[in-house]
Amino acid sequence: MTISDAERNDLILYRLQQSSELENEIQSHIKNDFYSTAVNRMYYSVFYCLTALALIYRFETSKHNQLIGWFNKEFINKNIFDKEQSKIVLKLFEKRKKSDYDPFIDFQEDEVKAMFHEMKGFVQGLKQFVYNKIK
């Protein structure tokens, strides 16, 4: 897909907005004990931020594993982001797959709240990085 720089910036901002909008949705899911959907939305909040980052560097993929691999190669391995950030992404990705595909998955409130706290920290840091790049 070929897009102009202005369109690319609009898409970057849109992806960041999508990520932000999920925070209230996630809080509502947790409050109402919908832990599996909360985990799904947490992963997608991170995914939208990673997609925004990839747009800056013109990395395109439709595969979640490739996006995560690219992030690890370009940002974790080069010490731009801490290795803990990669662990957060991978944990949310794996938990999201379990919540979507495994039968009888049962997340606990404390576990989900802890993941939400980690996700918010990751998203906040990544958003700041992206905003600094597009200024």
pLDDT digits (tens, 9 = 90+) for 49-91: 999 999 999 999 999 999 999 999 999 999 999 999 999 999 9
CATH number for the domain including 23?
1.20.120.330
What token pair was written down for 62? 């439709």
pLDDT digits (tens, 9 = 90+) for 100-114: 999 889 999 999 999
Counted domains in the chain: 1
Residue 111, SS3? helix
Question: CB–CB of 70/89 below 8 Å?
Answer: no
Q: Which domain holds residue 51?
A: 5-134
Q: Three-state SS string across 56-97, please?
A: HCCCCCCCHHHHHHHHHHHHHCCCCCCHHHHHHHHHHHHHHH
Model confidence, pTM: 0.95
Predicted confidence band at 1 (pLDDT cuts at 50, 70, 90)?
low
